[in-house]
Structure 1
Amino acid sequence: MESISIPRADPADIAHDFFPFLRVYKDGRVDKFLHTPLVPPSDDPNTTGALSKDVFISPENKVGARLFLPKTVKPDERLPVLVYFHGGAFVIESAFSAQYTAYLNSVVAEANVIAVSVEYRLAPEHKVPACYEDSWAVTKWVESHSGKQGPDPWLNDHADFGRVFFAGDSAGANIAHNMAVRASNAEEGGIKPLGLILAHPFFGNGKPDKLWQFICSDFNGWEDLRLNPMAHPNVLAGLVCKKVLIVLGETDFIRDRGVLYHEALKKSGWNGELEVVDFEKEGHVFHLLNQACENAGILMKKVVSFLSV
């Protein structure tokens, strides 16, 4: 992730300053301070280990996904499906960024899975719950291929809907959890994920969060199910996934919330397989910021093992 120059501004013109993510001006302008370059999908699997392409289920607002298919896939082979939700505090980043494209290329090539990296609308231009609604719309689009009659041939030909996983990092881990909650609701129907991977999950910081309050169009307090699932053990107990992997980092500024989520899930009565991997001296989303580091490689092996069923 790259930083961009922060423009000088008269304090009198600023309505909200959420450094290092964004600044909102009284006239409605928004400056965002962190940037990862966008890159096109790849049709050269010899370089990336995977083919990729972009699909849009709502072209007018660019809600869709980047799909990844391993170069080694056989014509009749059915593969696990990884539905991935990117992080970025709900306000920055993209499924089409260099950072996430490189990471999903590696996961797909090493784990031999199909990946659907979700592109959802960002706040504050599109306030919560837009990110959740968009992510659910893409999840339902993925589900439309379960009868091999969907709009995308990769999913029709190769997706094994008995082996679907949701995953994400930071705010994306929050979204992944909430998509699993929604999928667990019998009234919603849809995909029933086998597993859930939450890397450095954002579930608040244990105190009032001004950014969360600002980006919510429907703010309803700090025990909001979306933000604080630990306050809703009955919902945690109802998760349909059979296993959950939680990734923590010793110096991550929101590590404690991931620990609390683990403890709450364990105590809730949920009867799946729960695993935590905690990396010493590593901070928030270290595996994305330095994908070549030793611990990122160790985590990749853990993720590959988790997806191998």
Structure 2
Amino acid sequence: MLERHELEAFLTLSEELHFGRTAESLRVTTGRISQTIKKLERQVGAPLFERTSRNVRLTALGQQLCDTLRPAYEQIGAGLEQAAIAARGITGTLGVGFSSLWSGDLVVQAADLFRVRHPDCAVHIQEVLLGDPLGPLRSGKVDLQLTALPIDEPDIALGPVIFSEPRALMVPDVHPFAQRETISLEDLADATLLPMAGIIPDYWLDHHYPRRTPSGRNIPHGPPITYWQEVLSHVSFGQGVSVVAARGARYYTRPGVVFVPFSDAPPIEYGLLWRAGEDTARVRTFIQIIREIHPPVRRSGRP
């Protein structure tokens, strides 16, 4: 019989792939985690992790066990959370923001289900402008938002990566790139990239609008633009190009604009944010509903 602490140790280690971080997460010693995993491996009869001085990774058997146990573990946790919510009652108002139209689709879908389950709680939905991605959250206009990452701020809590989207380059239809099936990050050195302007963290801008290619070539930047509709206009009139989620081709149909997928760029990840220390019952419930509708994706090798 698998005990709860063994299950938690195994699943947490399968996420962290690091004994120290696992111990810190579960608030036990590293030795305790090591002993628990060894005991579990003896019970199974085979190694579940491959350990070296540099890294830890799941064996094929360990991955199989993880994939089998995790859904049941999360279902139990969700059931307990739903029971606790039902006991407390969910009332008041919840503000939810989104930073892209495809994020908004998921937020609206989750809000509809939230209202059915918790009719005494109102949900207000609003778009969060790319020029001020954290302003509404910090000001309290929204309590939770689904937005493009990365976000690394001390006053903002980051939840799971809910989904990711392949990147594309939005170019004028007269641009040489428009005739190609794919482009690479190196190709950005031969175009003028149009970045966003506003109250935006530098690391976010560097991630989405890099200044150098992977080989170190300079990427020309045009004047920063405040509103997304302006980006569409600038691109259509041949004043530059812009990085965007490939799905944008279905949402931003416009004459004179072509979306060309990247062959080597990492996907754009979208995750949930809320104010640190303010994960209220309303926030946790809405997050759980989003996870039901769209289970979180694996990020950097972690579930």
Q: Could you say which TM-score interval applies, normalised by the shorter chain?
A: under 0.3
Bigger proportion of residues as helix:
2
Bigger proportion of residues as strand:
1
Q: TM-score, normalised by structure 1?
A: 0.24
Q: TM-score, normalised by structure 2?
A: 0.24
